[in-house]
């Protein structure tokens, strides 16, 4: 085992708060949904029990209606805004701990399959009951997605808040977010810029709109039907839909192993619906998949990493495969590390500002996986190698400047450590 693998494991241990992992100390002091799913896969490379525990602690926050919240506030902390009082979700979730009121990409099902497969190769028959329990939690959350976030049956699931996407200030949301008011009743006490330079973070107006949206949904008492009608921001997101579709395929795999026939049928129907929805979002002229703004009815054409995420769920045809390969190569041309989260030739590109250009190791992990699934192994190997090199050069930071390779954002980041462990596995 290399020293760097040791260091990655040490970061997960350092960020462990008792069976769950914070994304990084101070900046993000709670349990985040998709971070934990990625982290559980990192743990699975060396500690299966701890991998299961990460997901078990996450579902402590699952709502009665199946939603898996984006943050679980296991213990109080004043280093993050907005905390539990701003969300005020207590009545939607009748057990402790308190949570935020929105969700995040459902990587959970992908993680469960990944860790279960490793457990099986290690001959760990004892994980069966744990797998079954987590499987049912995931299934409830997939039902929630389909019922609550695709009520108009497009085969695409919608986000009602940019934080749900996991790509908070992506240029993809600019037009839709501009319609949201900047007026808030809550005083905005940003903590993030105390930990990280403001030049790398979302702008103040973004935060005002993020909090305005929280207030709109809080006034709906977090009732999903009321939220759907009241939402001033509503985007059918291809990245979210692709992750849900892939996680659904992974749950089908688990259900087959567990011999759960009704669940296989139910999940297969969901899978078919989502793949049909995704296929309709491909655009030849853009050489990628585009989200749909449900309020304006328009395609969101901004070139972001989301263009390529559907590869984790979909089998491309030959034309699409060549187009995606050319497009990713174009985006990476001249970069020390690709794939940038916004195309470098776009006028929105900013190499250091969060989701407007920087490279994220977990996004590369998804892209590598999607390229391999689509028989583009050579390009996948290049991106994988670049990601590993970037981490080895700059450390386990939150994200990387694609032009210089510089490490940015929070340090000792859990999901960057997890990405390293999995890509090296």
Q: Which residues bind ligand 9YW (CB under 6 A)?
A: 23, 28, 32, 34-35, 163, 166, 168
Q: Least distance (Å) from ligand 9YW to the CB of residue 283?
A: 25
Q: Which is nearer to ligand 9YW, 42 or 155 (CB)?
A: 42
Distance of CA 35 to the CA centre of its chain: 7
Residue 151 CA to residue 351 CA, distance in Å, equals 37
Buried-state track 218-240, b at ≥16 Cβ within 10 A, e below 16: bebebebeebbeebebbbbbbbb
Strand 98-99 to strand 71-73: parallel, antiparallel, or no bridges (unpaired)? antiparallel
Q: Least distance (Å) from ligand 9YW to the CB of residue 413?
A: 7
The answer to whether 227 and 158 have CB atoms below 8 angstroms apart is: no
Q: Which is nearer to ligand 9YW, 166 or 338 (CB)?
A: 166
Residue 213's closest CA among 195, 205, 65, 364?
Answer: 205
Helices 318-332 and 377-394: angle between axes, nearest 10 degrees: 30
Q: Least distance (Å) from ligand 9YW to the CB of residue 366?
A: 12
Task: For residue 366, report the phi and psi dihedrals to the nearest 5 degrees.
Answer: -65, -40
Buried-state track 60-74, b at ≥16 Cβ within 10 A, e below 16: bbbbebbbbbbbbbb
Residue 307's closest CA among 170, 184, 151, 214?
Answer: 170
Distances in whole angstroms, Cα of residue 211 to Cα of each of 53, 126, 334, 402: 32, 44, 37, 30
Question: Could you tell me where the DSSP H helices lie in 220-355?
Answer: 224-230, 238-257, 261-279, 318-332
Q: Which is nearer to ligand 9YW, 111 or 379 (CB)?
A: 111
Q: Is 168 a catalytic residue?
A: yes
Is the preceding peptide bond at 159 cis, omega within 30 degrees of 0?
Answer: no
Q: Which is nearer to ligand 9YW, 28 or 145 (CB)?
A: 28
Residue 271's closest CA among 248, 289, 237, 254?
Answer: 248
Exactly one of 164, 250, 293, 398 is catalytic; name it: 398
Exactly one of 56, 117, 168, 327 is catalytic; name it: 168
Q: Least distance (Å) from ligand 9YW to the CB of residue 44?
A: 19
Q: Least distance (Å) from ligand 9YW to the CB of residue 293?
A: 20
Q: Least distance (Å) from ligand 9YW to the CB of residue 28?
A: 5
Q: Which is nearer to ligand 9YW, 180 or 252 (CB)?
A: 180
Q: Which is nearer to ligand 9YW, 34 or 87 (CB)?
A: 34
Q: Is 398 a catalytic residue?
A: yes
Q: Which is nearer to ligand 9YW, 246 or 271 (CB)?
A: 246
Q: Least distance (Å) from ligand 9YW to the CB of residue 34?
A: 6
Residue 313 CA to residue 241 CA, distance in Å, equals 9
Catalytic residues: 168, 398
């Amino acid at each position: 085992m290399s020293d760097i693998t040791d260091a990655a494991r040490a970061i997960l241990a350092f960020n462990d708060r008792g069976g769950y992992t914070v994304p990084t100390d101070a900046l993000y002091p709670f349990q985040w949904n998709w971070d934990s799913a990625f982290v559980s896969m990192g743990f699975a490379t060396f500690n299966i029990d701890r991998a299961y525990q990460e997901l078990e602690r996450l579902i402590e926050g699952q709502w009665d209606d199946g939603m898996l919240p984006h943050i679980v506030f296991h213990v109080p902390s004043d280093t993050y805004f907005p905390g539990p009082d701003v969300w005020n979700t207590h009545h939607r979730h009748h057990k402790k701990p308190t949570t935020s009121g929105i969700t995040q990409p459902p990587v959970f099902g992908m993680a469960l399959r990944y860790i279960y497969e490793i457990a099986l190769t290690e001959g760990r028959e004892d994980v069966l009951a744990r797998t079954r329990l987590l499987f049912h939690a995931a299934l409830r959350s997939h039902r929630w997605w389909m019922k609550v976030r695709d009520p108009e049956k497009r085969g695409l699931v919608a986000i009602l808040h940019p934080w749900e996407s996991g790509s908070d200030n992506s240029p993809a949301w600019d037009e839709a977010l501009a319609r949201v008011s900047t007026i808030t009743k809550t005083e905005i006490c940003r903590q993030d810029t105390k930990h990280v330079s403001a030049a790398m973070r979302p702008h103040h107006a973004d935060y005002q709109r993020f909090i305005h949206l929280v207030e709109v949904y809080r006034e709906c008492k977090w009732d999903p039907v009321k939220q759907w009608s009241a939402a001033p921001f509503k985007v059918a997101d291809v990245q979210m839909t692709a992750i849900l579709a892939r996680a659904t395929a992974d749950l089908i795999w688990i259900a087959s192993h567990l011999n759960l026939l009704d669940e296989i049928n139910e999940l297969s129907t969901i899978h078919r619906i989502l793949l049909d929805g995704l296929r309709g979002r491909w655009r030849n002229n853009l050489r990628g998949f585009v989200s749909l703004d449900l309020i304006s009815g328009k395609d969101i054409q901004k070139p972001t990493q989301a263009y390529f995420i559907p590869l984790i769920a979909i089998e491309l045809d030959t034309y699409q495969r060549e187009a995606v390969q050319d497009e990713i190569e174009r985006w990476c041309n001249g970069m020390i590390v690709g794939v940038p989260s916004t195309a470098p030739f776009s006028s929105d590109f900013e190499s250091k500002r969060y989701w407007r250009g920087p490279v994220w190791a977990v996004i590369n992990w998804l892209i590598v996986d999607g390229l391999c699934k689509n028989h583009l192994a050579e390009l996948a190997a290049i991106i994988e190698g670049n990601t590993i090199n970037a981490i080895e050069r700059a450390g386990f930071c939150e994200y990387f400047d694609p032009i210089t390779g510089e490490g940015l954002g929070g340090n000792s980041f859990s999901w960057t450590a997890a990405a390293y462990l999995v890509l090296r596995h």
